[in-house]
Structure 1
């Protein structure tokens, strides 16, 4: 199949494009959010092709000689408008489409109406809303829209954990802007009690914030990093344990990747963490002091950390296998394509 999708979530897309299809990813000059094109910090296969709006139109009408487009994966509400403006196609009417929801609802958790809940083609079941966790599917109000849950799939990075650095690592993107939701205050609480290192986009702003808090905090700012994924995995593998401080998130792929590397986990017992982190793989606690105490114990007991990390890796590869993820997506896309091909579809 030929599938159109925007580059929105790099880690998720890295898993998705490992499938057997051709993937058309819009690109615009300067690579803004609506046209990032191929990833430059993830390893994507040659089956992922960058297309300008004009090239996408040629792909859709078949004038590029490759046979048209079979499905569109929407990930943001305005992408249906981009598709129509660039190609003339209406998602769910002229071309099979799904809406992939990456996030938990950001407003009142039990009452947030999904932006696609009242869209006509969604209400008629032509554009299912795909959630990445069962928790998200439970919390979003999607009205009468058809909903599907397709769990994450994790490309196996290999067991790389060495734990030689007596530090707890965390990956938090935009830790200042997303302060409460990302649990940045929890992260700093733990980091004041055990050595820590933080990775992710926007950590430069956290460094500026810490520098204003005095010399002790400024020293911690020296352990903030924004690295490409391949380098990130190598760095994480050397830390003794992984801290997932998020209060409110869908299910951080960085958490699952750290587990696949073999790191033991410390996390808050919220959203989908109960399914991702079994008791033998780490500790879930709403008490930051307990998280810090367990981290301190692991820093002094690398054997326990290694055993927990081994269990974490085994669990994540069994619970989030890449092959199952790709098979479920392929079945859904074929189902929508076949449905559209039927008379009256």
Structure 2
């Protein structure tokens, strides 16, 4: 089938476009948020084709995969067609946890029964008030990037985009606390803005290609997932696939996604720091934990399962 989807989250999209379909991604001259086009630092198959807004009206689209509320209006304005029961079939991928007071966690599409909401974690599906909208959970899936772990560095790896803007949500204050005991390398867009905010225990590297990020991550002692309030980060799943042992703040979907043999999950940053110090002196334990993390990731977050589940929901929506 022919699927239209905006390039919003590159890591998630990299997995999604591995299916046996044709994928259209809107592109604008400035490659801004509403038209990023094909990813420039990720490897996408040739089945992903860029499409300009003016071309959408002539495209025979089978289904639209929405990821932001604004895309409903964008599609109608650009294509002249509606979405849902009286237009082109659509699903809405909810990548995020709700914001605000718990009584206000009503999903923006809760009043629509014609556009299913696909949550990426069971936690998200539970936390949101989905109202009338049909809901389904399709957990993350990632390709097998191969076992790459070396752990030759004594530091931890953190991957987060815009860490200054997302300071508390992404748990950068917790990273700062842990970096007083164990060095930390932070990777992601805008990581260079951390300069001066940390002591000597932090190194920051701005945007890298996915391949280079994986190679850098695998050289660290362990991967640190510091997010307080967010969906399960794909960078965590990818690190596990690489064979990295993981240290994880116990929040949202993390506790049920990382088994005990794959790393340490705790709401106490000091527990994570002490574990990292132990792994520094016991590399064999760190390597064994990383191997268990990889086996779990391949079994639970494998790409075939992810694509099969997406095929089912897309076929149901198109029927």
Q: TM-score range by the shorter chain?
A: over 0.9
2:50 match? 50
Runs of 4+ that moved beyond 2 A: 108-111, 219-226
- The answer as to 2:61 corresponding to 1:69 is yes
Give, in angstroms, the shift of residue 108 of structure 1: 2.2
The residue number in structure 1 matching 2:70 is: 78
Listed as ranges, the matches of 1:205-244 within 5 Å are 205-210=193-198, 217=199, 219-244=200-225
Contact kept? 1:110, 1:140, Cα under 8 Å: no
In the superposition, the TM-score normalised over structure 2's length comes to 0.97
Range with greater deviation from structure 2 (131-140 or 105-114): 105-114
Verify: 1:275 aligned to 2:256, yes or no: yes
Q: Which has the larger radius of gyration?
A: 1
Counterpart of 2:313 (choices 313, 323, 332) is 332
Separation in structure 1 between the aligned mates of residue 293 and residue 115 of structure 2, nearest angstrom: 35
Give 1:208 deviation, angstroms.
4.3
Matched, 1:29 2:29: yes
Question: Secondary structure of the equivalent of 1:104?
Answer: coil
Stretches of structure 1 lacking an aligned partner (at least 5 in a row) = 60-67, 211-216, 339-345
Partner of 2:101: 108
* 8 Å Cα contact 1:111/1:140 also seen in 2: no
Greater helix content: 1
Counterpart of 1:3 in structure 2 is: 3
Cα offset, 1:109, TM superposition: 3.9
1:146 aligns with 2:134: yes
Cross-structure match for 2:119: 131
Structure 1 Cα separation of the partners of residues 156 and 119 of structure 2: 30
Instruction: Indicate how the Cα distance of structure 1 residues 225 and 53 shifts in structure 2: closer, same or farther if over 3 A, else same.
Output: closer
Once the two structures are TM-superposed, the CA of residue 6 in structure 1 deviates from its matched residue by 0.4
> Using the alignment, how far apart are the partners of 1:163 and 1:225 within structure 2?
21
Q: Are the aligned partners of 1:73 and 1:98 in contact in 2 as well (CA < 8 Å)?
A: yes
CA distance in 1, matches of 2:135, 2:14: 23
- Residue 241 of structure 2 corresponds to 260
Question: For residues 275-314 of structure 1, what are the structure 2 equivalents within 5 Å?
Answer: 275-314=256-295
2: CA distance, partners of 1:201 / 1:109: 30
Cα RMSD for the two superposed structures: 1.2
How many residue pairs get matched?
A: 318
SS in 1 for 2:197: helix
1:94 aligned counterpart, secondary structure = coil
**What TM-score results when the alignment is normalised by the length of structure 1?**
0.90
